[in-house]
């Protein structure tokens, strides 16, 4: 990024890993979104490929039930401020800079936040901005508030829980679009986020094509077995699950234009 580039100046340029996400074929995103059992089939495919990245809804719960989201991750890392709330209020300066992530977001992106236990990393204003930007959703490994704004904006959000405690005086944003950790799972900018009522899967971008191919094979195999069940085939004669073969490694990805 040159000079201030596309940023808002809320944090130093050195805190940005990148301003443009790596490119991902939209056909892969749409293919993943078409899976009937979104996170279940993706998680099974990732198991077969030796990948970790699934998170249960017991860890990160959907604020809106019934939401299904697939999109590239814009990452944010928040940490606890070193000063007290009283000192922060007296100084009158918020150190939250998640607005930088929303400023970079393109329609369909998912903002993913490594946060702090018991403190909100998402409020009503940021929710409204995210919805206006066309973001597919927000994932917070931490807490959120202003759930009325989330509901009013119909913005899919996953979080550990809710709290009235604002992050404005308690948290500091230390990086945008760098590798973060969500519930112990590594998430890099541009990785594909898939989320529904069952949970979430974070798919390494380089493996997204492989995950889709294996998940589609799982979908076809399950459809074949379900047809036999609904056709009344006796249990002893039901087809066994097919062995799913790993496809060839995908080609290298390119940088998405800012």
| Residue 223, pLDDT score | 81
Q: Are 86 and 124 in contact (CB under 8 A)?
A: no
According to the annotation, is 126 in a ligand binding site?
Answer: yes
Contact 111, 191 (CB under 8 A): no
Tens-digit pLDDT profile for residues 20-73: 999 989 999 999 999 999 999 999 999 999 999 999 999 999 999 999 999 999
Per-residue confidence (pLDDT) for residue 5, from 0 to 100: 55
54-73: burial string, b at 16+ Cβ within 10 Å, e else:
bbeeebbbbbbeebbbbbbb
Residue 99: pLDDT over 80: yes
Tell me the C-alpha distance between 173 and 76, whole Å.
7
Task: Identify whether the C-beta of residue 239 lies closer than 8 Å to the C-beta of residue 226.
Answer: no
73-93 tens-digit pLDDT: 999 999 999 999 999 999 999
184 annotated ligand binder: no
pLDDT band for position 4 (50/70/90)? Answer: very low
Q: Is there a domain that residue 86 lies in?
A: yes
What's 223-242 look like in SS3? HHHHHHHHCCCCHHHCCCCC
Residue range(s) defining the domain that contains residue 86: 13-206
> Could you tell me if residue 84 is inside a domain?
yes
* 3 in a structural domain: no
* Inside any domain, residue 59: yes
d(CA 63, CA 68): 12
The reported pLDDT for the residue numbered 244 is 62
What is the structure's pLDDT at 108?
A: 97
Structurally, the chain folds into a number of domains equal to 1
225 is in an annotated binding site: no
Reported residue count of the chain is: 258
Chain position carrying tokens 């989320």: 195
* 123 known ligand binder: yes
Instruction: Check if the beta carbon of residue 117 is closer than 8 Å to that of residue 21.
Output: no
The yes-or-no verdict on residue 251 having pLDDT over 60 is no
Asked whether the beta carbons of 111 and 155 are under 8 A apart, the reply is: no
Tell me the pLDDT band of 96, cut-offs 50, 70 and 90. very high
Give residue 241's pLDDT: 77
Cα 119–Cα 125–Cα 128 angle in degrees, nearest 5: 120
Q: Which two tokens stand for residue 14?
A: 């050195």
C-alpha distance from residue 22 to each of 140, 185, 251 (Å): 22, 20, 13
**What single string gives the DSSP state of each residue in 97-145?**
-THHHHHHPPTT-EEEEE--TTSBS--HHHHHHHHHHT--EEEEEEEE-
Is 124 known as a binding-site position? yes
H helices then E strands: how many in the chain? Answer: 7, 11
Alpha-carbon span 178 to 190, nearest angstrom: 10
Residue of 92, 99, 56 lying closest to 76 (CA atoms): 99
**Does residue 220 form part of some domain?**
no
CATH code: domain of residue 81: 3.50.30.40
In a domain, 198, yes or no: yes
Would you state the structure tokens that stand for residue 132, as one six-digit string? 């206006």
What is the per-residue pLDDT across 197-247, written as a single tens digit (0 to 9) for each? 999 999 999 999 999 999 999 999 888 877 888 889 889 888 887 756 555
Question: For residue 82, is it within any domain?
Answer: yes
Does 190 belong to an annotated binding site? no
Query: pTM of whole model > 0.85?
Result: yes
What is the structure's pLDDT at 250? 47
CA-CA distance, 219 to 224, in Å (whole number)?
A: 9
Whether 216 is covered by a domain: the verdict is no
Q: Average pLDDT, stretch 116-127?
A: 97
Strand partners, 62: 158
In this prediction, residues 106-111 reach a mean pLDDT of 97
């Amino acid at each position: 990024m040159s000079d201030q580039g596309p940023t808002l100046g809320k944090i130093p340029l050195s805190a940005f890993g990148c301003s443009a996400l790596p490119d991902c074929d939209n056909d892969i995103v749409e293919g993943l979104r078409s899976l009937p059992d979104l996170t279940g089939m993706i998680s099974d495919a990732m198991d077969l490929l030796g990948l970790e990245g699934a998170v249960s809804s017991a860890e990160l719960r959907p604020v809106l039930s019934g939401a299904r989201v697939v999109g590239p991750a814009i990452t944010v890392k928040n940490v606890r401020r070193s000063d007290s709330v009283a000192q922060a209020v007296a100084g009158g300066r918020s150190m939250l800079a998640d607005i930088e992530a929303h400023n970079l977001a393109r329609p369909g992106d998912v903002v993913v936040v490594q946060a702090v236990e018991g403190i909100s990393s998402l409020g009503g204003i940021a929710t409204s901005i995210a919805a206006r930007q066309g973001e597919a959703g927000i994932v917070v490994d931490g807490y959120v508030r202003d759930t009325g704004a989330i509901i009013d904006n119909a913005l899919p959000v996953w979080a550990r829980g809710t709290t009235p405690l604002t992050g404005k005086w308690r948290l500091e944003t230390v990086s945008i679009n760098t590798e973060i950790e969500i519930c112990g799972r590594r998430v890099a900018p541009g990785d594909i986020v898939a989320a529904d009522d069952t949970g979430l899967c974070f798919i390494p971008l380089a493996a997204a094509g492989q995950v889709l191919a294996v998940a589609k094979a799982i979908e076809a195999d399950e459809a074949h077995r379900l047809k036999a069940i609904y056709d009344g085939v006796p249990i002893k004669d039901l087809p066994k699950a097919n062995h799913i073969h790993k496809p060839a490694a995908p080609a290298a990805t390119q940088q998405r234009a800012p």
